[in-house]
Amino acid sequence: MSITAVSTPNIAFIKYWGNRNDSLRLPAADSLSMTLNSPHVEITVDHADTLTVRSFEADGSEKTLKEKDIMRFARHLELTKEYLKKLASSAQTPTSELTNVTITVRSQIPSSIGLASSAAVFGCLAKAYAGLVAASAETSASPLTDEQISVIARLGSGSAARSIYGGYSALRAGDGDAMDSSSAVQVADENHWLLHDIILVPTQEEKKVGSTEGHELAWSSSYYKKRLEEIPRRQKECWDAILAKDFEKLQHVVEEDCWDMHNVMQTSTPPLKYLNDATYRITDAIEELRETEHLPVLYTMDAGPTVHLFCTEEAVKAVREFAAEQKDCTIFETKTGKGAILLP
Ligand code: PMV
Residues at CB less than 6 angstroms from ligand 1: 12, 15-17, 31, 116, 118-119, 157-159, 211-212, 215, 302-303
pLDDT tens for each residue of 49-106: 999 999 999 999 999 999 999 999 999 999 999 999 999 888 766 556 788 999 999 9
Residue 139, pLDDT > 80, answer no
What is the 17 CA–ligand 1 centroid distance (Å)?
Answer: 6
Among 17, 21, 159, which is best to mutate for testing ligand 1, by the most ligand atoms less than 8 A from CB? 159
The residue whose CA is least distant from atom 6 of ligand 1 is 159
What are 336's strand-pairing partners?
36
Among 121-130, 207-216, 303-312, the least confident range: 207-216
pLDDT tens, 278-324?
999 999 999 999 999 999 999 999 999 999 999 999 999 999 999 99
Position 126 pLDDT exceeds 80: yes
How many CA atoms are closer than 13 Å to the CA of 50, on its beta-carbon side?
A: 3
- pLDDT of 168 above 70: yes
Residue 204 has pLDDT above 90, yes or no: no
Q: Which of 230, 296, 307 is nearest to 261 (CA)?
A: 230
Does 209 or 252 have the greater pLDDT score?
A: 252
Percent of the chain with pLDDT over 70: 95
Residue nearest to atom 8 of ligand 1 (CA): 302
**Rounded CA separation 289/311 (Å):** 13
pLDDT in tens, 16-48: 999 999 999 999 999 999 999 999 999 999 999
Share of the chain above pLDDT 90, in %: 87
How much is the pLDDT for 285? Answer: 97
User: Across the chain, what does the average pLDDT equal?
Assistant: 94
Nearest to 307 by CA among 279, 284, 343, 267: 279
Looking at residue 229, what is its pLDDT? 98
Sequence-distant (6+) residues with CB within 8 A of 168 are: 32, 33, 34, 35, 186, 187, 188, 192, 193, 242, 336
For residue 201, what are the contacts with CB-CB under 8 A and spacing of at least 6? 112, 113, 114, 305, 306, 329, 330, 331, 332
pLDDT of residue 92: 64
- Model confidence at 328: pLDDT above 60: yes
pLDDT value of position 325: 96
Atom number in ligand 1 closest to CA 118 = 4
pLDDT per residue as tens digits for the range 249-264:
999 999 999 999 999 9
Instruction: Tell me the CA–centroid distance for residue 11 and ligand 1, in Å.
Output: 8
Residue 158 alpha carbon to ligand 1 centre in Å: 7
Which has the closest alpha carbon to 25: 169, 154, 207?
Answer: 154
In the reported structure, the alpha carbon of residue 193 is separated from the centroid of ligand 1 by a whole-number distance in angstroms of 23
Mean pLDDT of 213-240: 98
When mean pLDDT is compared across 50-59, 108-117, 195-204, the lowest value belongs to: 108-117
Among 13, 14, 15, the mutation site with the greatest number of ligand 1 atoms within 8 A of its Cβ is: 15
Decide: 8 and 332 in contact? Cβ < 8 Å. Answer: no
Substitution candidate for ligand 1 out of 164, 300, 302 with most atoms within 8 A of CB: 302
**Alpha carbon nearest to ligand 1 atom 4, residue:** 211
Between the CA of 136 and the centroid of ligand 1 the distance, in Å, is 32
Could you tell me which residue, 231 or 207, shows the higher pLDDT?
A: 231
Which pLDDT belongs to residue 47? Answer: 93
Residue whose CA is at the smallest distance from ligand 1 atom 9: 302
Look up residue 260 and give its amino acid. D
Residue 236, pLDDT above cutoff 80: yes
